[in-house]
Chain A
Amino acid sequence: GQSLEQPSEVTAVEGAIVQINCTYQTSGFYGLSWYQQHDGGAPTFLSYNALDGLEETGRFSSFLSRSDSYGYLLLQELQMKDSASYFCAVRDRETNAGKSTFGDGTTLTVKP
């Protein structure tokens, strides 16, 4: 099976940079995704890493190290609207590649 670990809460100030880590255990890694969910809203896709390295999309970047079973989401120039929960998710080749397992989420609070 799969398991993921991410911090439950992170707090940062507006304009700062924050990193949300995710470590995972799978029997056959396929890819790591990140989703954002505002309070009371639906999760929305942010980024996906299948290969080692950094993927950049505007203020958000995601990093993956397959050898360390580790990834992170980097949020730059934080804005108040970035306050939300962030979930990492993995797909596993050896179970059902169409299915993702989600972490418990990291609640990010951005303060003025």
Chain B
Amino acid sequence: GAGVSQSPSNKVTEKGKDVELRCDPISGHTALYWYRQSLGQGLEFLIYFQGNSAPDKSGLPSDRFSAERTGGSVSTLTIQRTQQEDSAVYLCASSTGGSAKNIQYFGAGTRLSVL
């Protein structure tokens, strides 16, 4: 597609349920990022995939969070046993990964609400 696509755009779930958030990066982009943004806050880095290298998981806040990227393209962020503090907008971005600027192209995000 023309840009980064995320689904669903909104997700409401009950505390304790698992959720899966999907990201379709720009075709040909080797780098993919997940961020979390709470209301009025900055972007909190979660995880970074670059090609076939092991992902950088240093930003995942707990072992309830995991992500995978299949075939070097689509990525899924999974949050198990959701808590109310997980409520936020989850943003995905992709980049070519090879240029000095490393311009990140962001999707519109998934707004997660945990009741």
Closest B residue by C-beta to A8: B40
Q: Which residues of A contact B23 (CB under 8 A)?
A: none
Q: Could you tell me the distance between the alpha carbons of A63 and B20 in the complex, rounded to whole angstroms?
A: 40
Interface check A50, CB cutoff 8 A: yes
A residues near B93, Cβ cutoff 8 Å: 43
Which of A96, A98, A103 is close to B42, meaning CB atoms less than 8 Å apart?
Answer: A103
| A98 and B108 within 8 A (CB) | no
8 Å CB interface, A16-67 against B: 30-31, 33, 35, 41-45, 48, 50
Q: Does A82 contact B (CB under 8 A)?
A: no
Tier of interface size on chain A: 20 to 34
Please determine whether A96 and B56 come into contact, CB atoms closer than 8 angstroms: yes
CB of B65 closer than 8 Å to a CB of A:
no
- Known: A98-B31, A98-B50. Contact between A43 and B106, CB under 8 A? yes
- Interface check B91, CB cutoff 8 A: yes
Known contacts A43-B91, A87-B42; is A48 also within 8 Å of B48 by CB? no
Q: B111's closest neighbor in chain A, by CB?
A: A40
Q: A70 an interface residue at 8 Å Cβ cutoff? A: no
10 A-B pairs with the lowest CB-CB distances in the bound complex, closest first: A104-B42, A42-B106, A102-B43, A48-B101, A45-B103, A43-B106, A105-B42, A42-B108, A99-B48, A102-B42
Enumerate chain A interface residues (CB-CB to B < 8 A).
30-31, 33, 35, 41-45, 48, 50, 87, 91, 96-105, 107
